[in-house]
C-alpha cells in the first residue's frame, strides 16, 4: 500500500554540493524533485553549496532525499549534520557512508569477510618514491588501474597499459586525493547491481552488463555519450547473475549500508569469478544512471523508485519522545 504523499511532509532533495561530481548531482537531484512532485510529494531542491544546512530546520523540512555525490554528500559529513539536526535522510548512515566512499577501507572490510576484490597497493601523496611506483607495477602487473581513493564517476582514474604511463597516472590521481589506489586490472565483463532496502529486507535488483567503447567506461562515457551499451537483462548465465546478486548483498550488509546502493563488479573472463570494486551509497539518478535502469527492468518506474527510496529515510539515532537518544 502506497503511503499518503502528505505523510512525507516537506522534503528537501539535497543536490549540487561542493564535490567534483556537482554537475552530475544537479542532474540527479532535478530528476528526483520532478519525480517526487509528480507523486504529490512536497519536494524542494536544496543545494548545500548555496544554502546553510540550518535552513533545513528553520524551513520545516521533515526529511531529506540525498542526491549528492562524492565528498560532503556521500562520505558521512552531511549525514552527520542531519543527525545533529534530527532530520531523517535517505541512504546509508554516517559510518557506512564514510567507509564506503573510501575504496581502500571498503577493500579492507570486504577482505575481512573473505569477499573477493582485486589485489591492490596504496600510495600516499608526498610519501612515495619513484622506486615504490615501479614496485607497484612489479607487484600488480600490467595493465592496472590507478584512481583516487575517495572520488566517484571515474574521476581521476587511469588504466595504465605500460610502465611509462604509471607516473602520469599517479600524478593525476593525487590531484584529487592524498590516497592513491593502485589496483589489479580484472579483464572481463563489467557489471553493476543495485540494492534496495535494509538488513534482511534488502534485495538485489537485476544485474546490468556494461559494454563501453573500447572498454573505456570513463566520466564522459558514463554521462554524456550514447555509445555505451547497458544490457539488462545482462545476458549472463542465470547462475552467474544470482551469484553476483548474492555477493553484492553480502557486501552491502558487510558495510552496514541501508536504504539503497549500487555495487560495481568485474568478472574475470578466464575463471568467471566476480570481484567487487566498490559500493556507491548515493547512486546517480540521471537519464544515464544505472539504478533507475535496473529498477525499470524489475518493473519499478523512476517515480516509484524515488518514492521507495524516500520511504527508507531514517536517522542512525532517532530521538525518543523528544529527548536525546
Determine the longest span between alpha carbons in the chain, in angstroms: 62
CATH code of domain 5-90: 3.40.50.20
pLDDT at 319: 79
Q: Is 264 known to be catalytic?
A: yes
Catalytic residue (one of 75, 151, 177, 278): 278
Catalytic annotation present for 83: no
Cα–Cα dist 192/202, whole Å: 16
Confidence at residue 218, expressed as pLDDT on a 0 to 100 scale: 52
Judged by DSSP in three states, 72 sits in: coil
The residues with which 44 forms a beta bridge, in sequence order, are: 12
Determine the pLDDT at residue 219: 53
pLDDT in tens, the chain (325 residues): 578 999 999 999 999 999 888 999 999 999 999 999 999 999 999 999 999 999 999 999 999 999 999 889 999 999 999 999 999 999 999 999 999 999 999 999 999 999 999 999 999 998 999 999 999 999 999 999 999 999 875 788 999 999 999 999 999 999 999 999 999 999 999 999 999 999 999 999 999 999 987 655 455 555 555 778 999 999 998 899 999 999 999 999 999 999 999 999 999 999 999 999 999 999 999 988 999 999 999 999 999 999 999 999 999 988 776 554 4
**What gap in Å lies between CA 253 and CA 53, rounded to an integer?**
29
CA atoms of 157 and 139, how far apart (whole Å)? 19
Nearest C-alpha neighbor of 35 from the set 303, 278, 231, 238: 303
Residue among 19, 25, 97, 153 flagged as catalytic: 153
Return the C-alpha cell found at 247.
Answer: 555477493
Asked if 264 and 283 touch (Cβ cutoff 8 Å), the reply is no
Concatenate the DSSP letters of all residues of 12-77 into one string.
EEE---SSTTHHHHHHHHHHHHHHHHHTT--EEEE-TTTS-THHHHHTT--EEEE---STTTSSSH
CB-based contact 303:65 (threshold 8 Å):
no
Looking at residue 325, its pLDDT comes to 47
pLDDT at residue 1, as a whole number: 59
Establish whether 2 is a catalytic residue: no
Q: What residue ranges do the domains of the chain occupy?
A: 5-90, 99-117+186-309, 120-184
CA–CA separation, 87 and 324 (whole Å): 14
- As a whole number of angstroms, the distance between CA 216 and CA 238 comes to 26
* First-last CA distance in the chain: 30
148: β partners: 180
CATH architecture observed for domain 99-117+186-309: 2-Layer Sandwich (3.30)
Helix (H, G, I), strand (E, B) or coil at 146: strand
Give me the catalytic one of 16, 17, 21, 282.
21
pTM for this entry: 0.91
Asked if 183 is an active-site residue, the reply is no
- 262 carries an active-site annotation: yes
**What is the per-residue pLDDT for 241?**
97
Q: Among this protein's residues, is 223 annotated catalytic? A: yes
Residue 22: alpha-carbon gap to chain centroid: 14
The pLDDT value given to residue 321: 64
The domain made up of 120-184 is a member of CATH 3.30.1490.20: yes
Amino acid at each position: 500500500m502506497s503511503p499518503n504523499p502528505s505523510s512525507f511532509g516537506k522534503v528537501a532533495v539535497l543536490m549540487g554540493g561542493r564535490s567534483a561530481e556537482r554537475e552530475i548531482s544537479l542532474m540527479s537531484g532535478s530528476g528526483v524533485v520532478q519525480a517526487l512532485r509528480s507523486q504529490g510529494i512536497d519536494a524542494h531542491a536544496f543545494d548545500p553549496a548555496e544554502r546553510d544546512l540550518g535552513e533545513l530546520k528553520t524551513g520545516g523540512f521533515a526529511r531529506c532525499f540525498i542526491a549528492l555525490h562524492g565528498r560532503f554528500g556521500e562520505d558521512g559529513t552531511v549525514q552527520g549534520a542531519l543527525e545533529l539536526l534530527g532530520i531523517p535522510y535517505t541512504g546509508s548512515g554516517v559510518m557506512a557512508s564514510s567507509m564506503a566512499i573510501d575504496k581502500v577501507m571498503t577493500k579492507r572490510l570486504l577482505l575481512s569477510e573473505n569477499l573477493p576484490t582485486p589485489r591492490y597497493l596504496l600510495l600516499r601523496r608526498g610519501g612515495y618514491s619513484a622506486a615504490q611506483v615501479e614496485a607497484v607495477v612489479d607487484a600488480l602487473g600490467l595493465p592496472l588501474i590507478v584512481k583516487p581513493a575517495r572520488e566517484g564517476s571515474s574521476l581521476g582514474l587511469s588504466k595504465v597499459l605500460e610502465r611509462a604511463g604509471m607516473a602520469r597516472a599517479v600524478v593525476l590521481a593525487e590531484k584529487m586525493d592524498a590516497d592513491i589506489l593502485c589496483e589489479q586490472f580484472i579483464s572481463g565483463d563489467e557489471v553493476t547491481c543495485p540494492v534496495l532496502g535494509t538488513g534482511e529486507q534488502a534485495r538485489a535488483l537485476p544485474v546490468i552488463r556494461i559494454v563501453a567503447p573500447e572498454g573505456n567506461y570513463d566520466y564522459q562515457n558514463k554521462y554524456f555519450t550514447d555509445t555505451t551499451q547497458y544490457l539488462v537483462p545482462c545476458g549472463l548465465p542465470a547462475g552467474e547473475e544470482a551469484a553476483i546478486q548474492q555477493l553484492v548483498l553480502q557486501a552491502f550488509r558487510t558495510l552496514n549500508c541501508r536504504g539503497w546502493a549500487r555495487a560495481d563488479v568485474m568478472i574475470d573472463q578466464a575463471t568467471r569469478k566476480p570481484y567487487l570494486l566498490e559500493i556507491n551509497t548515493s547512486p546517480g539518478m540521471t537519464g544515464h544512471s544505472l539504478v533507475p535502469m535496473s529498477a525499470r527492468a524489475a518493473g519499478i518506474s523512476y517515480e516509484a523508485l524515488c518514492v521507495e527510496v524516500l520511504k527508507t529515510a531514517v536517522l542512525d539515532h532517532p530521538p525518543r519522545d523528544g529527548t536525546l537518544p
